């Protein structure tokens, strides 16, 4: 019986990246969110973290907001030197009660987009040197479509 698992040692000479991504905890989107960020931003080197219903929690939970801001400042900016912070939201988020909590897919999308915009505004005020980009993902013909919200 083994005492542990052997994994390849990651590349350790790279200690800087340009990007940090904050996504929902939801396991259903873990791999596709990471793959989207890799393809869209053209790098596998980025900080990745999760918060349940990030856009909602960043505006409703002061502790979560302050902790994220401190972590981004102290690790992502100071140590890893990121230039861009990305917040990902998705449809059917359990933090909002899922899709069934809304009267229609349009109302659901409207709420998520509005919350993402508020989160962006709050983060921009606290992290003025960073580019903050927000995305919302939803199903589209058996694919997941990522929409950048501006």
Q: pLDDT tens, 19-72?
A: 999 999 999 999 999 999 999 999 999 999 999 999 999 999 999 999 999 999
Tell me the DSSP string of 124-135. HHH-TTSEEEEE
Homologous superfamily assigned to 19-149: Carbonic anhydrase (3.40.1050.10)
Give this prediction's pTM.
Answer: 0.91
Extents of the domains making up the chain: 19-149
Distances 73 to 5, 29, 41, 82 between C-alpha atoms, Å: 33, 26, 21, 10
Over residues 101-149, the pLDDT tens digits come to 999 999 999 999 999 999 999 999 999 999 999 999 999 999 999 999 9
Which tokens in the block code for residue 115?
């919350």
Whether 28 and 50 have beta carbons less than 8 Å apart is answered as: no
């Amino acid at each position: 019986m083994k005492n542990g698992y052997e994994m390849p040692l990651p590349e350790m000479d790279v200690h800087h990246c340009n990007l940090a991504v904050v996504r929902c905890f939801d396991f259903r989107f873990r791999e596709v969110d990471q793959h989207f960020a890799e393809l869209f931003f053209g790098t596998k080197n980025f900080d990745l973290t999760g918060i349940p219903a990030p856009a909602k929690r960043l505006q409703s939970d002061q502790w979560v907001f302050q902790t994220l801001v401190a972590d981004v400042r102290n690790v992502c900016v100071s140590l890893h030197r990121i230039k861009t912070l990305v917040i990902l939201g998705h449809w059917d988020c359990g933090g909002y009660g899922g899709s069934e909590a809304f009267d229609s897919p349009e109302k659901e999308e409207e709420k998520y987009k509005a919350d993402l915009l508020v989160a962006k505004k709050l983060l921009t005020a606290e992290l003025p040197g960073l580019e903050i980009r927000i995305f919302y993902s939803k199903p589209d013909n058996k694919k997941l479509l990522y929409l950048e919200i501006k």
